[in-house]
Structures are given as C-alpha cells and as structure tokens.
Amino acid sequence: MNYNNKFKEKKNSFLKKENIFIFLIILFCVLLDRYTKNEVIINFSENVFFINNFINIDLIWNTGIGFGFLSTESSLIYNLVSALVGAVIVILCYFTIISEIKDKLIYAIIIGGAIGNFYDRLIFNAVPDFIDLHYDRYHWFTFNVADIFITLGIIIFLINEFLKNK
C-alpha cells in the first residue's frame, strides 16, 4: 500500500459516522458547560444562592486543577498546569480517534469537560466553579458541570478497565 492510499484510509476512518457522533457528544458537553457557567456568572456572581439543605450556587474562581488542587498565585505554575491540561486534551483526542466506540464515548465525555475548563483557563485565567454540595457545615469541593463530565468519564473508564481485566 503506498502513502496516498494510507492517507486516504486514515482520512476516511476519521470521517466515519461514529467519529462525527463522538464530536457531537464533545460539543454537547462543552456547550452545556459554557451555558451553565455563563448563567451563573451573569446571575449569581454577587451572592450565594440557596437551593436546599444540601446544595448552593456559590461562584468561586479556581486557579488550580480539579477541585481546587494546585491553586496558586504563581503565573508560571498556572501556565505550566494549563499547558499540561492542553497536552492531555490532545493525547485524549488521539486515543479517541484510534479507540473502539465504547472507549470513544468515555473519552468524549472527559474531553468535553476538559475543553470546557481549558477554555475558561485561557479566557478568564481561572475556572468558575459554582456547585456547592454540603451537609450542615461540611462542604465538598465546589465544582462545575465540566468537572462532572470529567469525573463521570474517569469513573466509567476505571470501571470499564476493571471489567476488561476480569
């Protein structure tokens, strides 16, 4: 097989219906995340909004990674973490393209959430987190819709890998 045939084969496999479907899942995750963040930034930036005894809307700006880990005032560390997040997104995109459909779905959910947070890192230099789960005075880390997608994707990935190895 010559180089032109290999290129055409790769191009055709990239444009398969399943890859377009996966792209739409990523796009859905990003758009839902953007919508929720925009609504919170516009409508809830000043006050904590009480929903019930277990959940509030409370906008905070996270300069770290998931759940506020590695939060820092250092622009060097922030930029290094942002570059690392960007690299992980690119690597996940590669794995998505070469994977089977079930794995593509898992990666798509993670990528959708990661792109949502990466966008915020680039545009706002921080990620808006606003879902505050709590019981009495004990609060979980404040998070957003993108974090939900990333966490669900990782949990499903781990369960899937565990079941593959059984």
Please indicate, yes or no, if residue 14 is contained in any of the structural domains.
Answer: no
pLDDT-based confidence at 8, cuts 50/70/90?
low
On whether residue 115 sits in a domain, the answer given is yes
7 within some domain = no
> Which residue's structure tokens are 């998505």?
96
Q: What tokens does 20 get?
A: 């377009």
Total domains present in the chain: 1
Domain-embedded: residue 2: no
Give tens-digit pLDDT for 21-72.
999 999 999 999 999 999 999 998 777 788 888 999 999 998 876 655 656 6
Establish if 120 belongs to a structural domain: yes
- Is-contact 59 131, C-beta < 8 A? no
Domain assignment present for residue 39? The answer is yes
Each residue of 128-137: pLDDT tens digit? Answer: 999 999 988 8
Catalytic residues: 129, 147
Judge whether 12 lies within some domain: no
pTM score of the predicted model: 0.84
Quote the domain boundaries for residue 45: 30-165
